[in-house]
Amino acid sequence: MSEFLDQKDRDILKVLQKDGRISIVDLAECVNLTKSPCLQRLRRLERKGYIKGYRAELDPQKIQQSYLVYVQVKLESTRRKALESFNSAVLEVPQVMSCHMLSGGYDYLLKIRTADMTEFRELLGDVIAELPNVHQTISFPVMEEVKDTSIMDIPGAS
Which domain CATH number covers 38? 1.10.10.10
Residue 113 sits in a domain whose CATH number is 3.30.70.920
Helix ranges (H only) for the chain are 7-18, 24-30, 35-47, 80-90, 117-123
In a domain, 41, yes or no: yes
Position 128 in a domain: yes
Tally of structural domains, the chain: 2
pLDDT digits (tens, 9 = 90+) for 94-130: 999 999 999 999 999 999 999 999 999 999 999 999 9
Q: What angle do CA 4, 9, 10 make, to 5 degrees?
A: 100
| C-alpha pair distances (Å), 7 with each of 20, 53, 61 | 19, 21, 38
**What is the strand order of the sheet 108-114 is part of?**
96-101, 108-114, 67-75, 134-141
Residues 43 and 71 in one domain: no
State how far the Cα of 121 lies from the Cα of 148, in Å rounded to an integer. 23
Judge whether 113 lies within some domain.
Answer: yes
Note whether residue 2 is domain-resident.
no
Residue 33 lies in a domain: yes
Residue 59 in domain: no
Q: What's the pTM?
A: 0.88
Does residue 94 lie in a domain region?
yes
CA distance 11 to 3: 15
**DSSP count for the chain of H helices, then E strands:** 5, 4
What is the predicted pLDDT for the residue at 1? Answer: 45
Quick one: pLDDT at residue 109?
Answer: 98
37 and 71 co-located in one domain: no
The amino acid present at 139, given as its one-letter code, is: S
> Does 61 reside within a domain?
no
Q: Residue 43: its pLDDT value, please?
A: 97
pLDDT at position 15: 96
pLDDT tens digit sequence for 28-85: 999 999 999 999 999 999 999 999 999 999 999 999 999 999 999 999 999 999 999 9
Q: Give the residue numbers spanning the domain of 78.
A: 67-141
Q: Do 94 and 125 meet the contact criterion of CB atoms below 8 Å apart?
A: no
User: Are residues 134 and 106 both part of a single domain?
Assistant: yes
